[in-house]
Amino acid sequence: MKIRIVHLAVAVPAIFVIGIGASMAFNAWNTESSKEPAKYTSGAFAGVANPADIRGSYSFADIEKAFGVPVETLARAFGVTAEIAGASGLAAYQVKNFEAIYEGLSETLEVGTDSVRWFVALYKGLPYEPAEEGTGLPNTAIPVLREAGLAADLLDKARAKVVELPGLANLPAAVGTGEAAGTGTGTGGAETRTIVGKTTFGQIEDWGVSRAKMAEALGMEPGPSNAVVRDWLAEKGLEFSEYKTELQALVDAAK
Amino acid sequence: MAKAKSKSIRFARLGVQILFFVLIAAISVNHTLVENGGGFQWLSTASLHALCPFGGVVSIWQVATQATFVKKIHESSFILMWIGLVLALLVGPAFCGWACPLGSAQEWFGKLGRKLFGKKYNTFVPGKLDKALRYLRYLVLAMVVWNTARLGTLVFETYDPYFALFNLWSAELAWQAAAILAATLVLSLLVERPFCKYMCPYGAVQGVFNLFSVFRIRRVAKTCIDCKACDRACPMNIEVSKAGVVRDHQCITCMECTSERACPVKDTVDLVPPGPAKPKAALAALVLPISGAEGKGRK
Ligand code: SF4
């Protein structure tokens, strides 16, 4: 018995078709992460979807489905018009686009995925501390939050982080082109040593902070090096923002 | 014995390579179109990461220790990894020789190199250096797997020419990957499949299966006329004419050396299961009906 060229020409594509087909039949063929956010694990909100798990790939429709914030409300809060959203429409507009279209509006604040997490938490009355010091909210979000009945102290906190959007006509309609859309791995040469929502313990180690020092800052052994700090703390029912500043100070000291 | 080999045999592998290349390119373009509000619903909108079997390989540690995937990797990468492994267990790294679009792109650039440099093509790297460099890809593999496990991020994306090839238009393209892709394609004009030979971490994984795949390339010394046509045809510079059985870690199961392609003698170089060469009559009885296009002579 020998395998001929024509056999392989049939068998190679066939093995792929059969393998993929079988996995589809068993519902195992997933090419995207699930858009079901993690839930709070403890406290009064245990079992409720946690906005901390909103990712750049979430569309407005995904957020509406998971958190019950209407697409139109999100669009209004973040200044996204049908023109900006383009042919795919507002519902399919992805959160990761903000980092590109709102880039450079403020020297200190940034409107991005973390802004959406914060907005959703405020709108739904859920606990969430922005993961980054520079997390801002567009000025268009303030009236939406006021109308939603947000408490005055929280509204003030939001106001302190407002980023003025330019005239909507000046915003680029195209997304995913030109500037980085914030989906890189953060492993390139121009890496900034800033702890953000997707930073792993391994990256912090790589920036010169030993695990012993991290343990001191955390008051416990840090997670495995490939674990995302925010997710690891969330699993333990701890707030990322509480530990971030101290970890960042260690990173800055190690520079 | 000498006879022009069938055209369908000559183009069978090329056809499969084009199929995979076009499919991956189309899906990658569709992914960008969908992100920009266009695209086709009938075509997959998966990202390139979701369609890369190597993504499964680098995620093994994280899946085993944390039951989560490395960011941007999904179940599909794992399934493709298993498909690649099954294929490699059966016939060796056929994924590299038949399906990998980056391998195909290098091969197509190589055809131009062959036109430019004739017989000198693919002989520029001195033997000893070439042999040593071929172990580099295992080092690349170890570094990528180690750092992915350590950092929990897709570290190879920044350097991956395969990702660059289908993301030239994307904001996710890293300049390092673009530079490695450009270097790979330029070097392909001098050396056949330079990235596969020296750098590819997935090629390293696949290559190991050459040592124990069920089917492997076998040369029958008794009928071999020692013309070395197989050696000249091999893109990976393997000396098939000196081997009884090709267990070289660099073979890509392209079958260019076989009696259906380069070898002018029938039933002398073939992809066969273990065991001694079978007598012709027994072989004929085993041949499947679709193998009617058997090559019988010189190219
Ligand atoms: S020509 Fe033969 S030995 Fe060389 S890579 Fe192809 S199948 Fe392997």
pLDDT digits (tens, 9 = 90+) for A158-211: 999 999 887 554 444 433 333 323 333 333 333 567 887 778 888 888 888 888
pLDDT digits (tens, 9 = 90+) for A206-240: 888 888 889 888 888 888 877 888 878 877 777 77
How crowded is residue A23: how many other Cβ atoms within 10 Å of its Cβ? 19
The tokens describing B214, both together, are 């069920």
Q: Could you tell me which residue, A141 or B37, shows the higher pLDDT?
A: A141
| Ligand 1 contact, B253 CB (< 6 A) | yes
The tokens describing B201, both together, are 């971490």
| Ligand 1 contact, B238 CB (< 6 A) | yes
Contact B180, A190 (CB under 8 A): no
What's the pLDDT score for residue B48?
Answer: 87
> A224: nearest CA in chain B?
B150
CA of A16 to the centre of ligand 1 (A): 22
CA of B52 to the centre of ligand 1 (A): 24
pLDDT digits (tens, 9 = 90+) for A99-149: 878 888 888 899 999 999 999 999 999 999 888 888 999 999 999 998 888
Identify all chain A residues contacting B294, using CB atoms and an 8 Å cutoff.
4
Nearest alpha carbon, ligand 1 atom 8: B251
ipTM of the prediction: 0.86
Contact B198, B133 (CB under 8 A): yes
CA of B237 to the centre of ligand 1 (A): 8
Contact B164, B180 (CB under 8 A): yes
The tokens describing A212, both together, are 């012993």
Q: Can you tell me the distance from the alpha carbon of A123 to that of B72, in angstroms, rounded to the nearest whole number?
A: 29
Domain range summary for chain A, segments of one domain joined by +: 1-31, 36-166, 182-255
Nearest alpha carbon, ligand 1 atom 5: B251
Identify all chain A residues contacting B272, using CB atoms and an 8 Å cutoff.
1-3
Q: Can you tell me the distance from the alpha carbon of A237 to that of A173, in angstroms, rounded to the nearest whole number?
A: 39
> A29: nearest CA in chain B?
B76
Identify all chain A residues contacting B291, using CB atoms and an 8 Å cutoff.
4, 6-7
Q: Which helix (H) or strand (E) holds A145?
A: helix A141-147
Q: Which residues contact B88 (CB under 8 A, 6 or more apart)?
A: B94, B95, B206, B209, B213
Contact A138, A106 (CB under 8 A): no
Single pTM value for the model: 0.67
Identify all chain B residues contacting A30, using CB atoms and an 8 Å cutoff.
74-76
Question: How distant is the alpha carbon of residue B191 from its chain centre?
Answer: 15
Interface test with A, best of B30, B76, B256 (most A CBs within 10 A): B76
Position B5 confidence tier, pLDDT thresholds 50, 70, 90:
low
Alpha-helical runs (H) found in chain B: 7-35, 53-66, 75-91, 94, 101-117, 127-133, 136-151, 161-165, 175-187, 194-198, 201-208, 229-233, 280-286
Out of A31-35, A208-212, B160-164, B192-196, which region has the weakest mean confidence (pLDDT)? A31-35
| Ligand 1 contact, B263 CB (< 6 A) | no
Could you tell me which of B286, B155, B268 has the C-alpha nearest to residue B220?
B268
